[in-house]
Chains A and B, each alone.
Chain A
Amino acid sequence: MNTDRPDPTGSSWGTLLRMARPRATRANAFAALLAIVLGFAIATQVQQTNQSGLEQLREDELVRILDDVSQEQDRLASDTRELETSRDKLISGVDSSSEALKSAQERLDTLGILTGTSPATGPGIVITINDRDHKITAARLLDALQELRDAGAEAVQIGDVRVVADTWFADVDGAIQIGGERVSEPYVIKAIGDSATMASAMEIPGGVSETVRGDGAQASVRQTNEVAITALHSLSEPRYARPVPAPSP
């Protein structure tokens, strides 16, 4: 290699180089084979470690991961339950509010017919009283109205006046006023209800028809399947009466 007296560094490097030089011995071939195996093992193990998933982990790590997954699952399950509950609440809320809207609409219709703010239609009777001599008094029409209500009339109109709870009758200057409006002859009374019952109530002996005839006027009663009550009554806010609050359940 170098000189007889090499510097120490050179000696070591030289030894290394000398040994690294290919030599065709069996042991050297073995060493090369072992080196190949070692390199192969290193590369394989590195790749295995890189690509390894759960199977490389030890038992306690697996237990920890399992715990994490279980906790995550519990959390997500409770999230799911909460969301489902609120979804159900929302759905039932839509149902109940549409239900409330429907019942409110029904109530509005009923009250509209009762208070005369809504037009009404249905089966009923039409009573026409011809009274050229002005023999009929307001009391007679009030009697007729009472008879009709007794027979189950649900909505009543006399002339152009819708008859409701606070409608009043009066004789003023030989004419009849109903709810402040002058009603002129012939008096046409429209009533919605069971037409047969109301008609027989009108025609019974001592009833409205007979009394009107006794007064000297003519009354005709006509049953029909379609009575249209179009006159409306405008509501006024009560000035004195106040509703009593309903006791809380």
Chain B
Amino acid sequence: MIPLLGLIGGVLVGLLWGPDVPVALQPYLPIAVIAALDAVFGAVRAVLDGIFNDKVFVVSFLANVVVAAFIVFLGDQLGVGSQLSTGVVVVLGVRIFSNVASIRRHLFKA
């Protein structure tokens, strides 16, 4: 419950404050958000599987974000930033879909 409230509170803060994303972070923030969402859905699935672990969640969250940002950074350095960004988004999107499918089966048995 607290993380959900935190999510809503963060959205509200972002909407009300509305800061500009620093130019250096602009390529990485969208990917980082997708990676974090992947971690969140993975955590919910782990809860339903009964294997949730707070520490694992925090570490996977941070690792996901850092790795995703690093991949995009590497892609930018190699000159394939946009393609690699697309690839990361596809991979994370597939993971999110599979996590959501697992959650759905747990909650709705369907």
Indicate whether A3 reaches chain B with its CB closer than 8 angstroms.
no
A8 within 8 A of B: yes
Question: Contacting B55 at CB < 8 Å: which of A21, A27, A37, A47?
Answer: A27
B23 proximity list for chain A (CB < 8 A)? 55
User: For the complex, would chain B's binding face be called helix, strand, loop or mixed by DSSP majority?
Assistant: helix
Chain A interface residue count, Cβ-Cβ cutoff 8 angstroms: 35
* Identity of the chain B residue whose Cβ is nearest the Cβ of A29 in the assembled complex: B2
Contact indicator B106/A39 (Cβ below 8 Å): no
B24 within 8 A of A: no
Task: Say yes or no: A16 contacts B107, CB within 8 Å.
Answer: yes
Bound: A47/B11 CA distance, A = 11
Q: B6 to A32, Cβ gap below 8 A?
A: yes
Interface residues of B in 28-47 (CB under 8 A from A): 29-30, 32-33, 36-37, 40, 43-44, 47
Set of chain A residues within 8 Å of B48, measured between Cβ atoms: 12, 15-16
Specify the chain B residue showing the minimal Cβ separation from A37: B10
What are 28 A-to-B residue pairs whose CB atoms are below 8 Å?
A: A9-B107, A9-B109, A12-B106, A15-B48, A16-B48, A19-B47, A27-B55, A28-B3, A28-B54, A30-B54, A31-B54, A32-B5, A34-B36, A35-B7, A38-B7, A38-B40, A40-B14, A41-B10, A41-B14, A43-B14, A44-B14, A44-B29, A45-B33, A47-B14, A48-B21, A48-B26, A49-B30, A55-B23
Q: List B residues at the A interface (Cβ < 8 Å).
A: 1-15, 18-21, 23, 26, 29-30, 32-33, 36-37, 40, 43-44, 47-48, 50, 52, 54-55, 57-58, 61-62, 82, 106-109
